[in-house]
Structures are given as C-alpha cells and as structure tokens.
Chain A
Amino acid sequence: MKWARRAAMTFLVVVLAAGLLANWIAPDSYARQFRDLPDVAPSSQHWLGTDDLGRDRFSRLLYGTRISVLLAPAAALVSSALAALIGGAAGFAGGWLEGCVMAATDLFLSLPWLFLLITARAFLPLNVSPLASVAITFALLGCLGWAAAARVICADARALCDSDILLLARASGSSGWRLLRRHVIPNLMPVLSAQFWISIPVFILTEANLGILGLGVAEPLPSWGSLLRELENFSAFSAQPWLFAPLLLLVLTVSCFHVALENREVWT
C-alpha cells in the first residue's frame, strides 16, 4: 500500500500549500461581499458560487483551509508538548506526582471530549473578535487534548526509567540534563511524534464540530467548521451540491491523514 500512502501524502502537501498560498491563489478576500450577487451558482468568476452574503465560496474555502489545516498541527504541537511535560515528569518522578497526574488524566478522559470542550469554551468570553475566537478555539484544543497522550508517555517514561539503558547511562556518570538530552528525549521521541500526528485529524474534526455548533471560529473568518454551517440551509440542498465542497475536502484530508498514519514509521 505504498502507493496509497504516497498519494495521501501528496494530497496533504497540496492542501497545505493551497492553505499557505491562499493570499495569492484566492480570487478574492474571504470577507469581500458582492452585494448584487448573493447566493449565485458556480461560474467562471465564482468557482463555487457565492454565499448568502455574496462572498466568494472558493476564496473562503481556501482561507478556511489555511485556518483548519495550519492551526490543527499547532494545537497538536501544544498538546504533545504538554503531554511530554506532564507525562514525562510523572513517569520519571513516580510516587505521588504520578498518582496526581493519573487522577488528572482519569478526570480528563472521563469527560466526553466534546463536552469538555464546550464547557471550557463557555468559561471564556463568547463575544470576542474573530481572531481571538480562532486563538481560543485552537488553544483550547491544544490545552485540553493532552490527557490520553500524557498517559501513554507516562507509561513509556516509567518503562524507560526502569530500563537497562538508563541504568547503564547512570552508572557511566550521566545525570541531569545530559541524561535527559542524550537518552530520555531521543527514546521518547517516536511516541511523542506518533501522538502529535494522531492528534491532527482529531483536532480538525473537533474544530468542525465546534464550528457547526457555533462555538468555533467566529464570522467573518472562515474555517472548515464555520463553512459547514451552510449545510443547515436544507431547502437549497438538492439544488446546490457545491455546498458539499468543504465537507468533501475535510473528509479527503482526514482520510489521507489516516492512510498516511497507518504506518507511523513513515512519520517518525
């Protein structure tokens, strides 16, 4: 299935590039309104038509791709770093610290993921600027998504602590920062890397769910979640199949992540 992985990675690179180059590729700004052309069908001028406010859907899809595809890895990076810090410290220290961290992970994992997110989101102001809403949405994903990864890293760190490699390194005089830099971090990197890549599609899907529920990225900034809200327009469904373009792109991107992650050695 090497070809499938290659195809998936090529697709992901294309999507990432499209998001990064949205400023240059997009025919219009995501917020520009063509007031005399609201809700029009696809044409040579507007490839995916316009929304009910007259904004070019194709441009909004490109800018939305930038937000969803670039910020999900950023959130994954934050959650992996937190997991490494919390899980790693608990695994090495053991004792009461490990017990406390395990209790905290138990708590985080016992709360359904979406429930935890909407609860935490509600504790922050809802009426914020679009840019602040983007920052809050992805910061929440990053700050709340560490628990499962921390548990895995804690177990790995504990096993590493008890391993002969570390015993030998200590016996050879390695300690403190050197032990961490030369032996601990390199040995935990594959697990950390896997946790990072696994988190990305999860965060993309979660942002989409939050966006549809109105708790994600605020208008006029587009994201895949906020673009999918257009599907609520039931009456136009049969006449406007192009409304499904963001969904198709999201499903393809997440599928490509799954295909590419099937063999995680590719990433690590």
Chain B
Amino acid sequence: MRTPGRFWLRALARHTARMLLVLMLGGFLGATLARMAPGFGQDAEELDSRLSRESVAALRQARGEDESLPGFYVHFLGRMVRGDLGQSQTLQEPVRQLLAERFPETLESVGLGLALGWAAGLGLAIAAVMWRSAWADLTAGLAASVLLCVPAAVLALLFVIIQAPGRLVIGLIVFPKIFQFARNLLLRAASLPHVLTARAKGLGGLRVLIRHILPVAGPQLLALAGVSVSLALAAAIPVEVLCDLPGIGQLAWKAAMGRDLALLVDLTMIVTLITLVANTGAELLARRPREGGA
C-alpha cells in the first residue's frame, strides 16, 4: 500500500517531468521559429561601411546567427539555464531587467483581475444555485453573456474613455467564464441524491454547500482556477497596451510590433512556465491519494 507522502512525491515528479518536457518543446519551437523567421540576424550594425568582412562575421557569430538549428537551440538553452535571457534588440536593455521591472505590474493586474473575477463569478454562481436567486441568476447570466461577446481590447478602450482603472477589465474578462462554468458545476452537484437527502433532513444551506457541494465540484473548480490564469494573462495584453500599464503584456506587444524575436521567445517561455505551474498546481491539488494508490 502506498503512503500519501509517496503518492504526492510521485505525482509531483510526474507532473514536473511533463512540465519540463512541454517547456523544452516550447523553447525548441520558439527558437526554431526565431531562427527561421524572415529577417533573423539582420542588424543595422552590419551596414556600417567601416566594418571589414571579418568584423561582420564576428558580429554574426556573437549573435549565434551562423550556428545550425540544434547548435542555436543548445546555445539558447544554455543561456536560459545560466539565467542569461539576452538583450532586447528594440528596447536595448537586458531582458532580465525588463522582466524585473515589468513583472510586478502584471502580477498586480492579473492578481486583482483574478480575485475580482473569482469573487464575482463564484459568489453569484453560489447565490444563483444555493439560494435559487432568480435575480442573481438572471442579472449575472445576462452580464456574463454580454461580456463574452465583447473583445477584451474594446472593454479596455471603454475603461480608458470612462477613466476607470484598467486593471478591473481583467476581472470582467475572467468573470463570465468563471460564473458560467461554476454555476453549471454547482447546479450538477446540488442535484446529486446525497445533497437532496441532506437538504430534506433539514441541513442548513451553508453546511450543505461546504460539506456536500463544494467537495464534489472542488476538483473541477480547481482545474478552472488553472485555466483562469491563462485567460487573465491573455487579457493582460490588450489591457496593458490600451490602458498604458507597463507590464509583461505591453512588453510582449512592443516586442511583436518591433519584431524583437529573442525577447518574444523569452517571454513565451516565461508565460508558458507560469501557466504550466498554475495548471499543474491545480491538477495536483485536485488529486486525491486513493486515485493514485489503485
């Protein structure tokens, strides 16, 4: 028989291995695309007529341009492992410094957005299911339906026009998905026979929710939590660009507009890592030892 400690260790090792595999695959894909992209390695520096052919060759070698694809990837991976994320071509700053400056802004925006989205979405879903509040169900359902039809960038623009804090937009983008998914999950859990029996025996609404409904819906709600991180990060791009918030989303947009491919590959890896950690964390929390012990 497996002990819970051993089960958690094995699950953690398995998930970490999968995460690393996906991350390396992502890095390889990003590096391949960067290496193959039109204009890779073109630098205005090379146009300097004072440079000899040898100097141009040395510059190219320094940028890793003359390397084969596997060589380029190994070089890139080696740099990543050493913590050297390279230099941004457009912003002329070390990527590590750019990330250090901009990450707190995104963390704050995404954190606030997720907190708001979850508080409103889950709160209204609980109100709609537990207290059978037609008002909450109708209002939240209508708001969620409308918000699902509006592009994130338009919401951000509208917030700029009415001079409201742009960070709230991320909450509005996350809210409809949380509400709709949580409402369906809670409705399904609330109609299970043991919950109906508990209600019939006179158990209070709050106790039924905490003791009988949430444990059933919990694993899927945790999976939704992992997905919502990805949603919030995607929403951060238009929000930060249009509301002029200097975060990772704005940096990614600037890198895309300036075709700063090296910076984009670094950002891709970092954002992939964040979402993978969020999803893996949610998956691990949703697991129970007896599932793996069989």
Contacts and interface: CB of A to CB of B under 8 A. Distances in A.
Interface residues of B, number: 51
Contact of B38 (A119, A125, A237): A125
B1 interface: no
Contacts of B234: 112-115
A107 B151 contact: no
B272 A119 contact: no
Interface of A: 103-104, 106-107, 109-115, 118-126, 201, 205, 208-209, 212-215, 225, 228, 231-232, 234, 237, 247, 250-251, 254-255, 258
A214 B153 CA distance: 11
B29 interface: yes
A118 B161 contact: no
Nearest to B230: A112
Interface stretch (B20-28, B43-51, B111-119, B286-294): B20-28
B152 interface: yes
A122 B151 contact: no
Q: Per DSSP, are chain B's interface residues mostly helix, strand or loop, or mixed?
A: helix
B264 interface: yes
A228 B151 contact: yes
Given A205-B151, A212-B154, A251-B150, A123 B37 contact: yes
B111 to A, nearest CB: 16
Interface of B: 18, 21-22, 25-26, 29-30, 33-34, 36-39, 145-146, 148-154, 157-158, 160-161, 230-231, 233-235, 237-238, 241-242, 252-253, 255-257, 259-261, 264, 267-268, 271-272, 275-276, 279
Among B26, B151, B242: residue with most chain A CB under 10 A: B151
A126 B279 CA distance: 33
B124 to A, nearest CB: 19
Nearest to B260: A122
A118 B253 contact: yes
Contacts of A213: 153, 237-238, 241, 253
Given A104-B25, A125-B39, A213-B241, A110 B279 contact: yes
